[in-house]
Amino acid sequence: MNYETIIGLEVHAQLLTKSKMFCRCSADYANAPPNTHVCPVCLGMPGVLPVINRQAVEYTIMTALALNCTIAEYTRFDRKNYPYPDLMKGYQISQYNLPFGLGGSLTIEVDGQKKQAGITRVHLEEDVAKLVHYDSPDGKSYSLVDVNRSGVPLMEIVGEPDLRSPEEARQYLIKLRSILQYLGVSTGNMEEGSFRCDANISIRPEGSDKLLAKVEVKNMNSFKAVYLALEYEAERQRKAAAEGKRLVQETRGWLDEKGKTVSQRSKEYAHDYRYFPEPDLPPLVITREWVEEIVAKLPELPEARRDRFVSQYGLPLYDANLLTGLRAVADYFEDCLKTDAFKQLPADKGAKEVANWLLGEASRIMNDNNIDIVAFSKRVSPEQLGELLVLNSQDVVNTATAKYVFGEVFKTGKNPAEIIDDKRLSQISDTRALDEEIGKVLAANPQPVADYKRGKTQSLTFLVGQVMRATRGRANPKLVTEQLKKKLEEG
Ligand code: ZN
Ligand code: MN
C-alpha cells in the first residue's frame, strides 16, 4: 500500500520587544546573569497585575497581516493551566478561541513548484522560565531555574496540515523565518531558541482522508533537525504500518545525536489545560483604523523584494531569490549599489557583478569562517567591495587577483587600493615590461613556437599561460595575447 505524509507545523517565535509581555522587565535576557531580569509579575507572585505590551500586539498583528490572516476585531487572553517547574504562575497567559489572526496562507516553493500552505492562526502568549540541568561529580544531578525568560512575548503560528514532505516543511520554515526577519519582529534564531518548531506528522493510505495516528515531534533545534526528524518519522510510521503494527497517537522527542525519535507520552496523558478567560486583562478591541496604521508600516516582504530585484536591477530570478532570502543580505546588496564606487561600474553590468561577488566569493568567505552577513559586513564594507569591483573593471587587477585582494580586505580591513599597492599586485599593462617576459617565454619554448607557426593555434593558449605564470598572474591576459601574436607573426 502507498501512503502519503501529512505534516503541519507549529512555530513559537520570541518577539523583539524591549520589555516583556506583561511587565516592564527587559526582554533582552540572553546574555544576562540568571534571575536578573525579574519582578513580581514575571516571577508569578500572587496579587500582581499584568499589563499588555502594545508593541508585542502590533508585531503579532503585523505578522498575521504578512501571512494573509484575517485580523480579529475583538480578542482576548486566556489562562492555559498546567503544572511545570518552569511555569512560574502554574498557568500561561495565552489565547484560546479568539486569537489575533485567523485563516492565512504562506507561499512556498519546492522544485520550482509554488504551493500555498494554510495558516490556521497567529496568537500571542508569554514564554516560560528556563530549567538548567547540571550533573554534579558525585553522580547526583540537579536543576536550577532561571526566570529571565519568563514572560518574554511569544508569538505562536499554527499551520494547517498542508505539507506533504520534510522538504516542504523545511521550505515553510525558511520562508516563515524570512518573513519574521523582514518584519523585524523576531531574530528567527533556531539554535538560540528564539524560533522553535513542533511538528505534527502522520501518514494515510493514498486517496484516503483517514490519518493513521497523529504524532507530534518536539525538541528540534535547527532546520536540519526538523528535516531529519520528519524523514525519520515518515519512514518509521510506514514501516510500522507495513508490519501491521498499530500506530498510536503520541508525542515523540527528537534525539539529535542518535538521529531518531523516541516516545515521550501517549494520548492518555494528553493535557487538559482547562482554559478560561484571563480575568486580570481586558479584552482587546482592534479597530480597523489601528489595522490600517499597521498595514501602512509593513515593510517590503521577501517576494516583493525579489521581484523588484529582477525588474529594477535586471538580475536573474535565481540570483534575486538567493539575495532576498535573508533581509540582511538584500540590504547589504542594495547598500553596495548606493556607493559612489558602484556608480563608476558599467551601468548594464554593475548590479550583476555585485550579485556575483556576494553569492560567490563573499559566500565562500562566510562559509569558511562560519559567519553571517552581519559579521561579514563589519569586515568588508559595501564601499570596499565597490572599490575592488571598479579596480577590477578598469583592469588594474585581473579577476583572480581581485579575489585574492578581497580575502585580504576581509583579513586586514585595509582598502583594496592600499593592498594592491603594498603587495604590488596591479596588472602589468605596459607593453615594455611585458615584452621582456614574452621574449623569455618564447626562447624557452621553441617547440610550441614552431607548432604555432605550422598553424597549431592551441599553442598560443599554452604560451599565454606561460607568460601569466611568469608574471604570477599580474599580466593583463588580453594584452599578453595581443603582444604574443604580434611577436610570433614578426619572427
Ligand atoms: Zn518582570
Ligand atoms: Mn504555545
How remote is the CA of residue 12 from the centroid of ligand 2, in Å?
Answer: 7
Partnered with residue 8 across adjacent β-strands are 200
Residue 38 has pLDDT above 80, yes or no: yes
Residue 77: its pLDDT value, please?
A: 98
8 Å CB contact between 180 and 63:
yes
pLDDT of residue 9: 98
Per-residue pLDDT, averaged over 356-361, amounts to: 94
CA 328-331-337 angle, to 5 degrees, is 145
pLDDT at 425 over 80: no
* Residues in a beta bridge with 119: 104, 159
Mean pLDDT over residues 123-127, rounded? 98
Domain-located, residue 436: yes
Q: Are 420 and 404 in contact (CB under 8 A)?
A: no
User: How many angstroms is it from 226 CA to the middle of ligand 2?
Assistant: 18
Beta bridge partners of 144: 132
- Count of alpha carbons within 13 angstroms of residue 106, beta-carbon side: 34
CATH number of the CATH domain containing 484: 1.10.10.410
72, 158: one domain: yes
- The model's confidence at residue 434, banded by pLDDT at 50, 70 and 90, is confident
Ligand nearest to the CA of 152: 1
Cβ(5)–Cβ(234) below 8 Å: yes
pLDDT for the residue numbered 447: 93
Give me ligand 2 centre to Cα 198, in Å.
Answer: 10
110: left (phi over 0), alpha (psi -120 to 50) or beta: beta
108, 145 contact by CB (below 8 A): no
Q: What share of the chain has pLDDT > 90, as a percent?
A: 74
Is 254 domain-assigned? yes
Together in a domain, 322 and 377: yes
Instruction: With respect to residue 261, please indicate whether it lies within any of the assigned structural domains.
Output: yes
Neighbours of ion ligand 1 (CB under 5 A): 23, 25, 39, 41-42
What is the whole-number distance in angstroms between the Cα of residue 115 and the centre of ligand 2?
26
pLDDT at 491: 65
Ligand 2 centroid from CA 22, angstroms: 16
The model's pLDDT over 42-58, given as tens digits with 9 standing for 90+, comes to 999 999 999 999 999 99
44 CA to centre of ligand 1 in angstroms:
9
Ligand nearest to the CA of 157: 2
My answer on whether 370 and 229 are in the same domain is: no
- Residue 430 reports pLDDT greater than 80: no
pLDDT tens figures, 57-81: 999 999 999 999 999 999 999 999 9
41 alpha carbon – ligand 2 mean position (Å): 19
- The whole-angstrom separation of Cα 217 and Cα 219 is 7
Give the 3-state secondary structure of residue 10.
strand
Average pLDDT, integer, range 135-154: 92
Residues 288 and 315 in one domain: no
Q: Does residue 423 surpass a pLDDT of 90?
A: no
Q: If you measure from the C-alpha of residue 384 to the centroid of ligand 2, how many angstroms do you get, rounded to a whole number? A: 45
Q: Judge whether residue 433 has pLDDT over 70.
A: yes
d(CA 298, CA 182): 9
Average pLDDT of the segment spanning 233-256: 93
- State mean pLDDT over 228-254: 93
Expressed in angstroms and rounded, the spacing between residue 356 Cα and the centre of ligand 2 is: 42
User: Do 15 and 140 fall into the same domain?
Assistant: yes
- Flag whether 237 is in a domain: yes
Q: Which ligand is nearest to the CA of 48?
A: 1
* Residue 35 placed within a domain: yes
- pLDDT number for residue 383: 94
Tell me how far apart the alpha carbons of residues 341 and 466 are, in angstroms, rounded to a whole number: 34
311 Cα: distance to centroid of ligand 1 (angstroms)? 48
Q: Are residues 70 and 205 in the same domain?
A: yes
Q: What is the DSSP letter of 23?
A: S
Give residue 477's pLDDT.
81
CB neighbours of residue 279 within 10 Å = 7
Cα angle for residues 297, 302, 308 (degrees, 5° grid): 95
Distances (CA, A) of 407 to 226, 332, 372, 412, 471: 34, 18, 16, 9, 21
Other C-beta atoms closer than 10 Å to the C-beta of 399 total: 12
274 CA distance to ligand 1 centroid (A)? 25
CA of 381 to the centre of ligand 1 (A): 39
> How many angstroms is it from 183 CA to the middle of ligand 2?
21
User: pTM higher than 0.85 for the full model?
Assistant: no
For residues 468 and 361, membership in a common domain is answered with no
Residue 300 belongs to a domain: no
Q: Which residue has the higher pLDDT, 430 or 363?
A: 363
From the CA of 43, how far away is ligand 2's center (Å)?
A: 19
Give residue 268's pLDDT: 61
pLDDT at 20: 98
295 Cα: distance to centroid of ligand 2 (angstroms): 25
| Co-location of 128 and 225 in the same domain | yes
- 167-184 confidence digits (pLDDT tens): 999 999 999 999 999 999
Ligand nearest to the CA of 40: 1
Is residue 475 a contact partner of residue 437, using CB atoms and an 8 Å limit?
yes
Q: Do 24 and 66 lie in a common domain?
A: yes
Q: Per-residue pLDDT averaged across 361-384, rounded?
A: 94
Residues 448 and 357 occupy one common structural domain: no
- Are 96 and 126 in a shared domain? yes
- Range 217-238 average pLDDT: 95
When pLDDT is cut at 50, 70 and 90, the band that residue 270 belongs to is: low
For residue 216, how far is its CA from the centre of ligand 2 (angstroms)?
A: 14
Give the cell for residue 281.
486583562
Provide the mean pLDDT of the chain.
92
Q: What is the pLDDT of residue 269?
A: 60
CA of 297 to the centre of ligand 1 (A): 29
Centre of ligand 1 from the C-alpha of residue 51, in Å: 11
Q: Residue 240, exposed/middle/buried by CB under 10 A (0-12, 13-18, 19+)? A: middle
Q: Which residue has the higher pLDDT, 18 or 211?
A: 18
The reply to whether 384 and 437 lie within a common domain is no
Residue whose C-alpha is closest to residue 21's, from 279, 281, 289, 195: 281
| Cα(157) to centroid(ligand 2), Å | 9
Range of the domain at 383: 309-422
Measured from the alpha carbon of residue 21, the closest ligand is: 1
Higher-scoring residue by pLDDT: 259, 208: 259
Instruction: Provide the domain count of the chain.
Output: 3
Report which residue type is found at 367: N
